[in-house]
Amino acid sequence: MIGRTVHKIFAWCMTGVVSVFVYPVFFLISFALMVINNWLLKEKKSIEGEVAVVTGSAGGLGKNIAAELASKGCNVAICDINYKLAEGTAKEIADKYSVKANAYKVDVTKYEEVVDLKEKLTREIGPATILVNNAGLLIHSDQLNPTVEEIELMVKVNYMSHFWTNRVFLEDMKKANKGHIVAISSVAGLVTLPYSEPYCSSKNAVRALMRVLRAELKLEGLNIDATTVFPSFLQTHARVKQFATDSGFSDLYPLLEGEDVAKRIVQGMLQREAEVAVPGFFMLTYRLISLLPARAQDWVTYMPMMRLNTFQRAFASIKEQ
């Protein structure tokens, strides 16, 4: 009994010593490394001639990312459940950037379809060394009262699908000891957005998944990077745009252009950044909020929304007819 108590006191003391003496040194070193990496060093790696798979790239942010990668000389696979739209996007990108851009129909929630996708695109445009997990569902038909099926599908598309795509595409990257996996999370993966449990929790889970992946890649000594992206509200999605406007979010910070976010994502990839928030200060805000006790964090997160007093109404107004 006494032994267990001493053990516990020792653990608490060690935590105190680490917090007071080791953490500040660690903080300064990692901050200096971040400044050197993000601001002093120029673009680090070239991706010209590589094959990039972008899920959900028929339109929206995915299309912008595929176009930005093509502008750097990548051949791109436009993968989407909406094949008709993907075809037009692929043609547009191929014409504009003179790279190979093929359209592929895939439902990323289905493992077998992802396996077939890899076989097909490897045959047609070569083995992929870049995977951008962008496909996502943002809003339910009735955000305040989603159906069981809608919740299940959102979690599958936004989170589960990353297991399938990563598993399938990592295999060749590991063999080539070269690659980059990018996951599009959201600021809703960092902070809380009330009445969005499936979206927030799936985007939060993506962050954890990517952190584990990065640790494994480092432990295995592989030359494969993993970047998680946390964008704020974009102009790209009509219903999200309406919600952001109605709730007053767009007054707090202007809605982002898809092209700007795509540029920042590719820049982050080239600089091998682990996490990219757009705008960048959201990450600092998140880190500062994280230092507070849990109840204070809750308060900070929901109070501004309560004060706006339009939150529920904004979600109710975008209910699909």
Near ligand NAD in 152-191, by CB under 6 A: 157, 184, 186
User: Token digits for 127?
Assistant: 């083995």
Query: Judged by CB under 6 A, which of 97, 159, 164, 233 binds ligand NAD?
Result: 233
- CA 181 vs. chain centroid, Å, equals 10
Collect all residues with Cβ–Cβ distance below 8 Å to 318 and sequence separation of at least 6.
139, 143, 239, 242, 243, 246
Query: What is the phi/psi pair of residue 180, to 5°?
Result: -150, 130
From the list 97, 104, 159, 199, the catalytic residue is: 199
Q: How far is the CB of 294 from ligand NAD (least distance, A)?
A: 25
Give the whole-angstrom CA distance, residue 151 versus residue 153.
6
- Give the span between the Cα atoms of 18 and 102, in whole angstroms: 52
Q: State the number of CA atoms in the 13 A half-sphere of 290 facing the CB.
A: 8
Contacts of 118 (CB under 8 A, 6+ apart): 128, 168, 169, 172
Residue number with CB closer to ligand NAD (77 or 106): 106
Is the Cβ of residue 13 or residue 115 nearer to ligand NAD in the bound state? 115
Residue 279 lies near ligand NAD (rule: CB under 6 A):
no
Nearer to ligand NAD, 127 or 231 (CB): 231
- Long-range pairs of 111-114 with CB within 8 A, sequence gap ≥ 24: 111/164, 111/168, 114/161, 114/164, 114/165, 114/168
Binding mask 88-127 for ligand NAD (x = CB under 6 A): ------------------xxxx------------------
CA distance 142 to 203: 19
Pairwise CA distance, residues 52 & 66, whole Å: 8
Q: Which tokens is 71 given?
A: 């502008």
Q: Is 199 a catalytic residue?
A: yes
> Rounded to an integer, what distance in angstroms lies between the CA atom of residue 19 and that of residue 124?
53
Neighbouring CB atoms inside 10 A of 28's CB total: 10
Please tell me whether residue 200 binds ligand NAD under the rule CB under 6 A: no
CB of 28 to ligand NAD, least distance (A): 32
Distance, CA of 54 to CA of 182 (rounded, Å): 9
Query: Minimal distance in Å, beta carbon 209 to ligand NAD?
Result: 14
Q: Which is nearer to ligand NAD, 186 or 228 (CB)?
A: 186
Considering only residues 237 through 266, tell me which ones interact with ligand NAD, judged by CB under 6 A: 237, 240
* Residue 99 vs 240, nearer CB to ligand NAD: 240
Chain position carrying tokens 């909020």: 289
Among 236, 266, 276, 311, binds ligand NAD (CB under 6 A): 236
213 binds ligand NAD (CB under 6 A): no
Verify binding: residue 134, ligand NAD, rule CB under 6 A. yes
Contacting range for ligand NAD; rule: CB under 6 A; set: 18-26, 218-226, 228-236, 269-277? 228-236
Least distance to ligand NAD, CB of residue 284, Å: 18
Q: Which amino acid is at 26?
A: F
Q: Which is nearer to ligand NAD, 99 or 154 (CB)?
A: 154
Among 127, 136, 179, 268, binds ligand NAD (CB under 6 A): 136
| Residues taking part in catalysis | 199
User: Which positions touch ligand NAD (CB under 6 A)?
Assistant: 55-56, 58-62, 80-82, 106-109, 134-138, 157, 184, 186, 231, 233-234, 236-237, 240
